[in-house]
Amino acid sequence: MRVYVGIDDTDSKRSMCTTYVGAVALRRAESLGARRLDHPWLVRLNPNCPYKTRGNAAVCLPLEVDPSVFGDVWRAVIETVEELADLESGADPGVVAFGEDARPGLRRFYFRAVREIVELEEAMELVRTFAIAHWGYGEMRGLIGATAAAGAVKETLSTFELLAYRTREMWGKERLVDPESVKEMDRAYRGVTFDNYDYEKGEVRVTPHTPCPVLLGIRSVRADVLTGALTLLRVNEPIEFFEVYRTNQATDIHYVERQVQSVRPLESVVVRGLVAGRPRVIPGGHVLLEVSDGTGEITVAAYEPTGEFRRVVERLEVGDEVAVYGAVKPKPEGLTLNLEKLEVIRLRDVYAERAPRCQDCGRAMKSVGSGKGYRCKGCGRVDPNATKVRVRVEREVREGVYEVAVSARRHLVRPLWLQASSGSDACAV
């Protein structure tokens, strides 16, 4: 029998990682005779979910299991979750198993869990209708992510991540990965792996900053290169083991196109419209502007962590046509779209008045007084009838797509080099 085992909400801000729980459970299931149908799946859900611990990831283990040992495999998975989940710090894990024939019935729920806020009762209805088995602890909110992960559409899982795990005595300590080796690995595998290092900010991105079992993660568009990439890293602490996950990271799957009037809080949206107000810089270096699409107007924010990306936003002018990508957050003054990506579709022409040039030598002239004309600074020629001329100003931004700094990129956002490979116009900041 083919079984898809979903696991979620085993971690807390203090400890643990659901991918680690899933990887340990997979190994124990294999020891009982279960066989992998695929890499385990790391499924990112709505990044704006208020209940998330960190990156809002659930795990699915696609398995082939003899019906005679399914009970043993199921018990091993549950025992692993009970043993490793950080139950004392508020984790509410859920585990669920669905057969192959049930997965089409979960498809819509998967997409909704990536793009919307779904409630536990919606997941429970699917569990009661389709699941082979399920288990939950506490409020059992983990059943939401577990159900979504088990129903993930494989075609959306188009990237991979190698996750290397620390030995237990190293949990919570500084990660000992040589930063120079990360850059060397990035150069060697550029165009295949991604988000290894933020060159703008000088930050290693393969190591997390949380007290969890993950030592490092290398993301790629190909699974077969990841072990080689790992060997290039100089890791000065033991690795317990590593696992390669198939993921929906870097796919832009979380975005939905919306008109301003239909934008809802805690969604990730794409809004196309015109810049309706001059960009303004507020304390902290954050840049705000307004975008209107005819159905309404929304404030768009490029926060300081997005890096030099803010300079692009600052250079926009009223009337420029843009597409803004980002998370919709409720603020006291109304909804704000936190920018994750920006497409400059069309720049309007901007004009300014300039002093005329001398008709004799071509140099710039200088006013000799209101209504008195201009004098050439070079040859001295005076033209009492000369007036300012209107000239088109060269814009400091060009049409194309721009992205935030690597360290500010959320898991589901597609890097521009991947976007460019599918035909979009990517621009460097």
Indicate the range of 132-146, 377-391, 397-411 predicted with least confidence: 377-391
More confident residue, 423 or 146: 146
Considering Cα of 330, then 121, then 103, then 31, what sign does the dihedral take?
positive
Q: What is the pLDDT of residue 51?
A: 86
Q: What is the pLDDT of residue 422?
A: 53
Q: What is the pLDDT of residue 350?
A: 93
Domains of the chain, residue spans: 2-156, 159-247, 255-349+395-421, 352-392
Residue 54 confidence (pLDDT) above 90: no
Mean pLDDT value across residues 246-254? 98
Average pLDDT, whole number, for the chain? 95
Residue 121 confidence (pLDDT) above 70: yes
In sequence order, the 6+-apart residues with CB closer than 8 A to the CB of 92 are 9, 136, 137, 138, 139, 140, 141, 142
Q: How confident is the model at residue 421 (pLDDT cuts 50, 70, 90)?
A: low
More confident residue, 310 or 378: 310
Torsion angle defined by CA atoms of residues 351, 352, 353 and 357, in that order, rounded to the nearest 10 degrees = -80
User: In 10 A of CB 38, how many CB atoms?
Assistant: 13
Please return the burial class of 231, using the count of CB atoms within 10 Å of its CB with bins 0-12, 13-18 and 19+.
Answer: exposed
Q: What is the pLDDT of residue 387?
A: 87
Q: Do domains 2-156 and 159-247 have the same CATH topology?
A: no
- Taking alpha carbons only, the member of 44, 42, 46 closest to residue 269 is 46
Backbone angles phi, psi at 289, to 5 degrees: -155, 170
Q: What is the pLDDT of residue 424?
A: 43
Please return the burial class of 389, using the count of CB atoms within 10 Å of its CB with bins 0-12, 13-18 and 19+.
Answer: exposed
Q: How confident is the model at residue 60 (pLDDT cuts 50, 70, 90)?
A: very high
Q: What is the pLDDT of residue 90?
A: 86
Q: What is the pLDDT of residue 420?
A: 65
In sequence order, the 6+-apart residues with CB closer than 8 A to the CB of 93 are 7, 8, 9, 10, 81, 85, 87, 136, 137, 138, 142
Fold of 159-247: Glycinamide Ribonucleotide Synthetase; Chain A, domain 4 (3.90.600)
Mean pLDDT value across residues 51-72? 94
Contact 260, 111 (CB under 8 A): no
Mean pLDDT value across residues 342-371? 91
Query: Model confidence over 128-164: pLDDT tens digits?
Result: 999 999 999 999 999 999 999 999 999 999 999 999 9
**The pTM is what?**
0.91
User: In 10 A of CB 226, how many CB atoms?
Assistant: 23
What kind of architecture, by CATH, is found in domain 2-156?
Answer: 2-Layer Sandwich (3.30)
Q: What is the pLDDT of residue 332?
A: 84
Q: What is the pLDDT of residue 306?
A: 97
Q: What is the pLDDT of residue 407?
A: 96
Query: Model confidence over 156-191: pLDDT tens digits?
Result: 999 999 999 999 999 999 999 999 999 999 999 999
Percent of all residues in the chain with a pLDDT value above 90, rounded to a whole number: 85
Query: Model confidence over 8-17: pLDDT tens digits?
Result: 999 988 889 9
What kind of architecture, by CATH, is found in domain 255-349+395-421?
Answer: Beta Barrel (2.40)
Q: What is the pLDDT of residue 429?
A: 41
Indicate the range of 39-48, 194-203, 382-391, 403-412 predicted with least confidence: 382-391
Percent of all residues in the chain with a pLDDT value above 70, rounded to a whole number: 98
- Taking alpha carbons only, the member of 412, 20, 406 closest to residue 204 is 406
Residue 427 confidence (pLDDT) above 50: no
Residue 416 confidence (pLDDT) above 80: yes
Q: What is the pLDDT of residue 428?
A: 39
Q: What is the pLDDT of residue 12?
A: 87
Residue 78 confidence (pLDDT) above 90: yes
Considering Cα of 184, then 187, then 191, then 197, what sign does the dihedral take?
positive
- Taking alpha carbons only, the member of 318, 316, 322 closest to residue 396 is 316
Residue 255 to residues 74, 221, 268, 328, 414, Cα–Cα distance (Å): 35, 20, 5, 11, 11
